[in-house]
Amino acid sequence: MNKELFLRIVHHLSTEIPYFRPSKDATGWSSLSPLQKCTAAIRQLAYGGAADTVDKYIRLAEITAQKCLHNFTAGIITLFGGEYLRRPTPEDLERLLHIGEERRFPGMIGSIDCMHWEWKNCPTAWKGMYSRGTGKPTIVLEAVASYDLWIWHAFFGGPSTMNDLNILDRSPIFDDIINGIAPQVNYNVNETEYHLPYYITYGIYPKWATFIQSIRLPQTEKQSLFAKSQESVRKDVECAFGVLQARFSVVKNPSKLWDKEKIGNIMRSCIILHNMIVEDECSSFTQYNKFEFQEREEVDTFSVNMPSNLGSTLDRRTSLRNRQAHEQLKNDLIENIWAKFEHFPNNI
């Protein structure tokens, strides 16, 4: 995290969160500075150590460091959660669809997968629910990530005895589409028009119109080329998980907290901070794209419109789980990739 970004976070917390505001006690002594409190919290997130590891560096007691951590995570969610853990806006969808079309997957807006976080101090009464077989108790995170490692969706809290399908049934990822408030997306694949964007995923997910899996045993060159392309794009969410754990060791090491709500706040705040770092790193690059000033031969085959409430909730849910539409979209994607790469199969 850059110094400017960290100082911006400290400034927002010190002005809008009462716990981080400078104050004085009854004797006139100044309290701990917002910089001390935020530094103690961010070091616990980044290095994953116990609260007493910052006592000599920050001059804080263990209990105070714990309070700094929990107030910091709650403040990050309150101040920045609406912006950095939002659903894609129409502008975001246009950018994601444009990148998906450049990667030969028109209509793709990201890849979805699940990650497990070990819960070391899970209560004994809950270990049977949070442990799969004889393994250690873990909590599941379902996330959607795009090409730039931005995490667009995070559903955290499911026990590890639930597989990805059970987590999907509980997840609110398609609630906006079912309720008719999601932006309407139109795109063409192999001269066929579609209206539902999709996620790249692996084989355990159902064959819905919003999921595209790889081909386990491809039999032809077209299928082999599609499987190779799909598996390369599916790595986006796995790379996002790896970067998240590398930046914040607290979500890589086993959690030593007892309260599940506080564990959830830590996970959500780390995802928000991760997205803030991604945005900050992208803004530090060049401010223009040279391809925007060049005339392109290809024209975008997608459009994003305002949400339409046509049809009932049951109809939208049925179209979301339409297996026939899934098979047709998959076949069209196979033909689309083959038409673009049949002469250059190694340039994926």
Residue 297, pLDDT above cutoff 60: no
pLDDT value of residue 347: 52
Residue 67, pLDDT above cutoff 90: yes
* Band of residue 301 on the pLDDT scale cut at 50, 70, 90: low
pLDDT value of residue 304: 76
Please, which residues have CB within 8 angstroms of residue 134's CB and are 6 or more apart in sequence?
none
Tell me the average pLDDT across 47-61: 85
Give me the residue label for tokens 């754990």: 245
pLDDT value of residue 305: 72
Provide the β-strand partners of residue 56: none
Q: What is the mean pLDDT of the chain?
A: 87
Please, which residues have CB within 8 angstroms of residue 73's CB and are 6 or more apart in sequence?
41, 45, 262, 265, 266, 268, 269
* Band of residue 294 on the pLDDT scale cut at 50, 70, 90: very low
C-alpha dihedral over 244, 89, 106, 184, to 10 degrees? 140
Tell me the average pLDDT across 152-167: 92
What is the pTM assigned to this prediction? 0.90
Residue 229, pLDDT above cutoff 50: yes
Q: Give 182 or 151, the one with higher predicted confidence.
A: 151
pLDDT value of residue 288: 43
What are the backbone angles phi and psi of residue 56, rounded to the nearest 5°? -85, -35
In this structure, of 30-34, 106-110, 220-224, 287-291, the range with the lowest mean pLDDT score is: 287-291
Residue 291, pLDDT above cutoff 60: no
Residue 348, pLDDT above cutoff 80: no
Tell me the average pLDDT across 299-311: 66
Q: What residue spans of the chain are helical by DSSP H?
A: 3-16, 34-47, 55-58, 62-84, 90-102, 127-130, 164-170, 175-179, 221-233, 235-247, 260-283, 313-320, 323-341
Residue 6, pLDDT above cutoff 80: yes
Which has the closest alpha carbon to 204: 168, 172, 175? 168
Q: Give 245 or 345, the one with higher predicted confidence.
A: 245
Tell me the average pLDDT across 7-27: 89
